[in-house]
Structures are given as C-alpha cells and as structure tokens.
Amino acid sequence: MPTDSQVISRTTDIDAPAERVWALVSDLPRMGDYSPEASGGRWVGGGGPSVGAVFRGRNARGLRRWSTRCTVVRCVPGEEFAFEVSAVGMVAAEWSYDLESTGYGCRVTETWTDRRGALLTQLGKVVTGVSDRSAFTAQSIEQTLARVKDRAERKE
C-alpha cells in the first residue's frame, strides 16, 4: 500500500461543465495537448473509455520514447476517470481524474498513485530520464490541469 509520499494530487476549478472536462481528460489521442510527458494513446481493440478497457499509452520526454499498457479501473462520465499503468508486466501507477460539479463549472482533482517497486523505480529513471519522479509528477499535473482548464474554458 502506498504511503502518503507516494500519492500526489492537485485540484483546480474550471469554468466549464464537468461533462466537458471529463470528455477532455478521457480523450486519449488528445492527451498530448495537455500533458508534458504523455503524448497520447489508443484503445486496444477499439472502443473507448469504460471499466476494463485497455489502452496503449505513449510517452515522450526529449528524445526518449516509451509506451505503457493501461487498464481503466473507474469510469463514470462527468465524475471520474481512472486507470492503472503497467510497464514490463508490472503495475507502476494509477492516474485518476475526479470531477465535482460546482455552481459555476467544476472542480477537477488529478491524482498519481505510485505503485512502483524498487525495480520499476530504477528502470523508470533510465527509460524516462527523470530521477525525481515525485517532483516531476507534481509539476506535470499542474501543467496538465492548467492546459485542460484553458481548453475547457474556451468558448468555441
């Protein structure tokens, strides 16, 4: 079970309906527009977001590229979208987006739960080039939420 230092969460308020924001965070091909590391994804076998659905996540950092296998573990349109990330056959993390409607839009919380053991922690440093995953992830979540907020609040 992860300790508190292995869970990183950030929250932001967005002046847009929760359904619109949920559609953005569950749109895998577009995730690269928001995340500084995730460059997109594709559903394995087609389909879309639903509990048990699997997708291949693509990631990039500089010249480094890697992919992960992800399984949706919670999925309620307009409320939550969460998935487990596996690398080399081992669960590495869980990412989640929890949305709460407010009087003016919604509040979104993005959470990363580190599930890596010692082997994946060391392998991750080599593959991604990130030595302090917790600090990097905190900044990454803040950037992702800011970009999602910007996109969701555009009147298009």
Domains parsed from the chain with CATH numbers: 4-151 (3.30.530.20)
For the stretch 10-54, pLDDT in tens is 999 999 999 999 999 999 889 989 999 999 889 998 888 999 999
What is the secondary structure of 61-79 as a DSSP string? ETTEEEEEEEEEEEEETTT
Beta strands 90-101 and 64-76, pairing class: unpaired
The pLDDT, as a whole number, for residue 34 is: 95
Which comes out higher in pLDDT, residue 122 or 87?
87
Residues 6+ apart with CB under 8 A from 113: 2, 6, 7, 93, 94, 95, 96
For the stretch 89-111, pLDDT in tens is 888 899 999 999 999 999 999 99
Q: What letter represents residue 128's amino acid?
A: T
